Amino acid sequence: MIELSHVSKQFGDDTAVEDITLRVAKGKFCALVGTSGCGKSTTLRMINRLIEHSSGDIILDGQAIEQYDPVKLRRRIGYVIQSTGLFPHWNVARNIGLVPRLLKWPATEITARVEELMGVLGLPVGEFAHKYPHQLSGGQAQRVGVARALAADPDILLMDEPFGALDPITREKLQDELAKLQARLHKTIVFVTHDMDEALKLADHLVVMRDGRIVQQGTPLALLQRPADPFVESLLGGLERGLKQAALTRVKDHMTSLGPTLPAQSRIPADFSLRQALSMMLRDHCDRLTVVDQGDVPIGELSLRRIVKEAQLDKVSQRDA
């Protein structure tokens, strides 16, 4: 668990971060979102003491971070950055095995761990182990970066715009994989990004920052439903907010049981998002969809009128979610 309370950071006379209070529970995914220069990266880097905070407390697993030896602290925190920071003179396997080697794991264990992680991140060992970073595509290099961060199996992962430099398709693919990985590994993740869609997609807890301060924090849904001010609202996409919210909701949460009426023509799998359902309705000019399970068997129905009504109700009922 990571706890920041009233943390500030001054560089000379400039205040980069002011009075940040933030709690990331174990196994949760926290995204820090904001425009550039809002202090989100500084906040992240104070957690592994790349930057020492000026005041306030940063507590990691019940202990103030000043009490840890910085080198030992960093070896138990994974770190991923946009430019990957891979060592250009080391091959992929050696780059991934860096932290285990620093921790003096036996060589056989390091090799086994590196190969395991390459498997997890979809980098075939035979093809990639001996390649050098300059021989990799951006997406492959960032996979190596993530593997390196996970190598010593840290509980905490700090990620500073890890997918910011990738093309949209690769970025989305890596986001999906990270989400899957997190569902399995339950790391405590602090993730910095300026891409609100990325944050909405991945985070359990969303922190919006501006000028070194936290403007609003909460679950993605809570922020979408009640943005604190016009700044947060514009970050959340202004008029697109409704669709973004729909993207966070599954079809199965809004379907009704199959009624006496005839099933609708268009079919949609139950684990698709509401946003995809709305898009399908617009495309097929209909206001009803048949919801199907994985075996394409109809299990319910989705109606536009109900969705709109429920959205109104949600506004009331989820206020305390």
Residues 6+ apart with CB under 8 A from 268: 251, 276, 277, 280, 289, 290, 291, 292, 302
Write the secondary structure of 35-98 as one string of H (helix), E (strand) and C (coil).
Answer: CCCCCHHHHHHHHCCCCCCCEEEEEECCEEHHHCCHHHHHHCEEEEECCCCCCCCCCHHHHHCH
Q: Which amino acid is at 180?
A: K
Contact 258, 299 (CB under 8 A): yes
Out of 42, 46, 65, 79, the residue judged to bind another protein by CB under 8 A: 79
2 binds another protein (CB under 8 A): no
75 binds another protein (CB under 8 A): yes
Out of 46, 118, 136, 281, the residue judged to bind another protein by CB under 8 A: 136
Binding mask 137-156 for another protein (x = CB under 8 A): xx--x------x--------
Helix or strand (DSSP H, E) at 268? strand 267-269
Distance CA 254, CA 87 (A): 49
Binding mask 25-54 for another protein (x = CB under 8 A): -----------------------x-x----
Strands 29-33 and 188-193: parallel
Nearest Cα neighbor of 290 from 308, 314, 272 is 272
Instruction: Kindly state the smallest distance separating residue 105's Cβ from another protein, in Å.
Output: 13
Nearer to another protein, 78 or 220 (CB): 78
Sites for another protein among residues 218-277 (CB under 8 A): none
Instruction: Kindly state the smallest distance separating residue 286's Cβ from another protein, in Å.
Output: 46
Nearer to another protein, 83 or 234 (CB): 83
Residue 267, SS3?
strand
Residues binding another protein: what is the number (CB under 8 A)? 29
Nearer to another protein, 82 or 303 (CB): 82
- 263: which DSSP letter? P
Instruction: Kindly state the smallest distance separating residue 131's Cβ from another protein, in Å.
Output: 8
Applying CB under 8 A, which part among 5-13, 77-85, 256-264, 266-274 lies near another protein? 77-85
What sign does the CA torsion over 141, 147, 217, 312 have?
A: positive
User: Exposed, middle or buried by CB within 10 Å (0-12, 13-18, 19+), for 129?
Assistant: middle
Applying CB under 8 A, which part among 16-24, 96-104, 177-185, 303-311 lies near another protein? 96-104
Distance CA 235, CA 218 (A): 15
Nearer to another protein, 48 or 216 (CB): 48
Out of 88, 106, 168, 295, the residue judged to bind another protein by CB under 8 A: 88
Contact footprint for another protein (CB under 8 A): 48, 50, 71-76, 79, 81, 83-89, 98-99, 102, 131, 133-138, 141, 148
